């Protein structure tokens, strides 16, 4: 039904490298790989969201080269991404039939729309969802099922599902599996991306594995055990049992000490922040961690493992179901933290900032900056404490402009002047303004969520330099990154989250890269990773 031939995509680095695959009619074909393996990029090329740098595709025996997602859908290829494509301000029915709303002379036939939506929801087992309700009122699992139902109901021959069960309950997952089997029986070709290896074993007819942008091999159902799947995604040193083709390469080595941001481990340092049993189910479950002065604690995990959600709970951007924290700053930090020092987790970012905890968010445009305001205003607002003089200060204080100018020079922010609006800056320079804001506030614990995503090499090195200087000043840093090489470079210790749980911790300065990647899959397997590590 669908073939890719030497499909390649280049960005700053090669994301997909000469991948040739075949997807049969009436099969569920699972695509596996760790973060950065190239799965999502490959699927975006198939779905018309990204144009290949090289290579070709064919669909049902004909040349297939979609210019965009709309053309791919017209030709019969649908995709359901992790980032849902629903319009929250429209109703369920309007979202289900958005591209082909029933109308007469351009006037919406609302009653016909509701009737069609009720029928579709009933056929998909979603009778509890009111077709007239606004999508923003639905839970995340209901939204996921709604988008899958909408795509399966359309006339298509290929459907791509990227982590479709990440936000689903057990009953919703079982319902989805039933409908996928029905779609398979109707002759659809289903490309299924998931980190949940037990699901893959249950539903996939064939499994293809990507590693570092390359096609490792393809195996039929029951040829690979879960531990062998993990081994192929991580080690690549040896072909496991099975008859699939295999493209191997040597084990990657941990970075040399000279390549590390700070090769010296933090010795005998008592923790300055301890977080106890933080939960917001199902995304974060009973996580306990600690970070010491002068330490960078890296957090690794697959996409959807709960890393970002954990940082948001510590920062008060989301409210936890349970959890406490202990903080000990200053001269008493060398002593062990006592029981009576525990506090409830902050319920707002303002509470976290007052405790000395600041966060450089993954989404700097929505969560990190006031884009319509100037660089100087964004930096000055970080010290706002609610009184009138602070409220007026960013707009008239010469001192605020002077402080912003100091950060502009020290961080190398490229701008006309500090009165320039932040929306006019590049992504890397926006990230520098976010850093300047929290450096101006002078927090004690810095939470970095994907700090170098989408910025150039020079800006990345500047971020690393800031991290190094913060450590030297005795700050505690917690860094979430999907780039494992980055974590290996910057971290003194690395904790691994898998399926919402904190599963392992690795101490530096030299890490076992493959063991870390294997641990990322532990929460998605029925069995542990011990036989893989052996």
Residue 533 pLDDT > 50? no
Helix (H) or strand (E) holding 292: strand 284-292
Least confident interval from 121-125, 324-328, 459-463, 520-524: 459-463
Residue 238 has pLDDT above 60, yes or no: no
As a whole number, mean pLDDT of residues 386-404 equals 58
- Residue 193 falls inside a structural domain: yes
Sheet containing strand 271-280, edge to edge, reads 284-292, 271-280, 322-327, 342-344
Average pLDDT over residues 378-384: 73
Which of 309, 272, 303, 268 lies closest to 287 in space, CA to CA?
309
Of residues 161 and 513, more confidently modeled: 161
Name 440's Cβ contacts closer than 8 Å, sequence gap at least 6: 379, 380, 382, 383, 403, 407
Mean pLDDT of the chain: 80
In a domain, 48, yes or no: yes
Q: Flag whether pLDDT at 381 surpasses 80.
A: no
Report, as an integer, the average pLDDT of 139-154. 79
Whether pLDDT at 382 is above 90: no
CB 441 within 8 A of CB 374: no
For residue 376, the model assigns a pLDDT of: 80
Token pair recorded at residue 463 = 């971020």
Out of 101-110, 112-121, 193-202, 445-454, least confident range: 101-110
Q: Which residue, among 275, 325, 272, 315, has the nearest Cα to 295 in the 3D structure?
A: 272
Would you place residue 399 in the very low, low, confident or very high pLDDT band (cuts 50, 70, 90)? low
Is 67 a domain residue? yes
The secondary element (H helix, E strand) that includes residue 306 is none
Please report whether residue 173 resides in a domain. Answer: yes
For residue 28, tell me if it sits in a domain. Answer: yes
Task: Answer whether residue 369 is part of any domain.
Answer: no
What's 163's domain CATH number? 3.40.50.300
- Is the pLDDT at 17 greater than 80, yes or no? yes
Query: Closest by alpha carbon to 255, among 11, 491, 36, 464?
Result: 491
Task: Give me the percent of the chain exceeding a pLDDT of 90.
Answer: 21
Number of residues that this document lists for the chain: 534
Stronger pLDDT, 238 or 345, i.e. the higher one: 345
- pLDDT of 240 higher than 60: no
Backbone CA torsion sign across 382, 385, 386, 388? negative
Instruction: Reply yes or no on whether the pLDDT at 351 is more than 50.
Output: yes
pLDDT, tens digit, 9 for 90 and up, residues 54-71: 999 999 989 999 999 889
C-alpha closest to that of 510 among 533, 532, 494: 494
How far apart are the C-alpha atoms of 142 and 148, rounded to whole Å? Answer: 10
| Count of domains observed in the chain | 1
Report the pLDDT value the prediction gives residue 276, as an integer from 0 to 100: 92
Instruction: Give the three-class secondary structure for 435.
Output: helix
Q: Tell me the residue range of the domain where 171 lies.
A: 2-86+155-234
Residue 229 has pLDDT above 90, yes or no: no
CA distance 140 to 25: 31
Q: Report the C-alpha gap between 381 and 272 in whole angstroms.
A: 26
For residue 16, tell me if it sits in a domain: yes
Q: What 3 state SS string does 146-158 have?
A: HHHHHHHCCCCCE
According to the 3-state scheme, what is the secondary structure of 228-290?
HHHHHHHCCCCCCCCCCCCCCCCCCCCCCHHHCCCCCCCCCCCEEEEEEEEEECCCEEEEEEE
pLDDT surpasses 90 at 396: no
Task: State how far the Cα of 245 lies from the Cα of 351, in Å rounded to an integer.
Answer: 55
Q: What is the mean pLDDT of residues 106-130?
A: 82
Confidence class of residue 338 from pLDDT cuts 50, 70 and 90?
very low
- Name the DSSP class of 335: S
Residue 412 pLDDT: 76
Whether the model clears a pTM of 0.85, i.e. scores above it, the answer is no
Confidence band (pLDDT; 50, 70, 90) for 532? Answer: very low
CA-based nearest residue to 60, from 150, 192, 156: 156
Q: How far apart are CA 349 and CA 443, in angstroms?
A: 13
- At residue 312, the pLDDT reads 92
SS3 content of the chain, % helix, strand, coil (to 5): 35, 25, 40
What was the pLDDT predicted at 19?
Answer: 92
Domain membership of residue 470 (yes or no) is no
Q: Are 272 and 333 in contact (CB under 8 A)?
A: yes
- What average pLDDT does this structure show over 36-51? 88
Given a cut of 90, whether residue 105 has pLDDT beyond it is no
């Amino acid at each position: 039904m669908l073939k890719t031939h030497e499909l390649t995509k280049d960005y700053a680095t090669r994301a997909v490298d000469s991948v040739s695959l075949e997807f049969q009619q009436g099969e569920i074909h699972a695509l596996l790989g760790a973060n950065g393996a190239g799965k999502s990029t490959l699927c975006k090329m198939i779905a018309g969201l990204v144009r290949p740098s090289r290579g070709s595709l064919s669909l049902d025996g004909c040349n297939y080269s979609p210019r965009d997602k709309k053309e791919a859908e017209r030709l019969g290829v649908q995709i359901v991404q992790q980032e849902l494509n629903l319009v929250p301000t429209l109703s369920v029915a309007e979202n289900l039939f958005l591209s082909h709303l029933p109308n007469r002379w351009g006037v919406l036939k609302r009653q016909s729309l509701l009737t069609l939506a009720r029928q579709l929801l009933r056929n998909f087992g979603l009778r509890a969802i009111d077709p007239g309700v606004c999508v923003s009122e639905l839970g995340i699992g209901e939204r996921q099922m709604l988008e899958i139902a909408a795509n399966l109901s359309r006339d298509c021959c290929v459907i791509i599902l990227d982590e479709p069960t990440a936000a689903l309950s057990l009953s919703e997952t079982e319902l989805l599996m039933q409908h996928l089997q029905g779609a398979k029986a109707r002759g659809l070709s289903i490309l299924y991306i998931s980190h949940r290896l037990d699901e893959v074993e249950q539903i996939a007819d064939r499994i293809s594995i990507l590693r570092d942008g390359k096609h490792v091999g393809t195996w039929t159902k029951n040829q690979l055990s879960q531990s062998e799947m993990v081994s192929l995604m991580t080690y690549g040193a040896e072909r496991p049992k099975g008859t699939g083709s295999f493209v191997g390469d040597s084990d990657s080595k941990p970075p040399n000490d000279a390549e590390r941001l700070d090769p010296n481990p933090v010795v005998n340092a008592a923790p300055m922040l301890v977080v106890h049993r933080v939960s917001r189910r199902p995304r974060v479950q009973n996580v306990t961690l600690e970070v010491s002065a002068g330490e960078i604690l890296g957090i690794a995990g697959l996409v959807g493992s709960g890393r970002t959600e954990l940082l948001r709970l510590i920062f008060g951007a989301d409210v936890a179901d349970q959890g406490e924290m202990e903080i000990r700053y200053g001269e008493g930090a060398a002593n062990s933290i006592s029981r009576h020092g525990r506090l409830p987790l902050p319920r707002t970012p303002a509470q976290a900032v007052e405790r000395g905890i600041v966060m450089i968010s993954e989404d700097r445009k929505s969560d990190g900056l006031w884009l319509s305001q100037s660089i100087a205003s964004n930096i000055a607002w970080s010290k706002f404490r609610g009184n009138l003089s602070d409220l007026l200060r960013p707009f008239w204080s010469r001192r605020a402009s002077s402080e912003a100018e100091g950060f502009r020079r020290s961080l190398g922010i490229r701008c006309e002047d500090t009165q320039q609006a932040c929306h006019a800056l590049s992504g890397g320079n926006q990230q520098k303004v976010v850093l300047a804001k929290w450096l101006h506030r002078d927090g004690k614990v810095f939470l970095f969520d994907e700090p170098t995503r989408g910025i150039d090499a020079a800006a990345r090195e500047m971020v690393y330099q800031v991290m190094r200087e913060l450590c030297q000043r005795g700050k505690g840093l917690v860094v979430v990154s999907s780039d494992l090489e980055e974590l290996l470079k910057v971290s003194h210790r690395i904790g691994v989250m898998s399926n919402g749980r904190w599963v392992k911790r690795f101490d530096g300065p030299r890490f076992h890269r493959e063991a870390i990647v294997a641990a990322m899959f532990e929460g998605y397997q029925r069995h542990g990773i011990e036989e893989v590590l052996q």
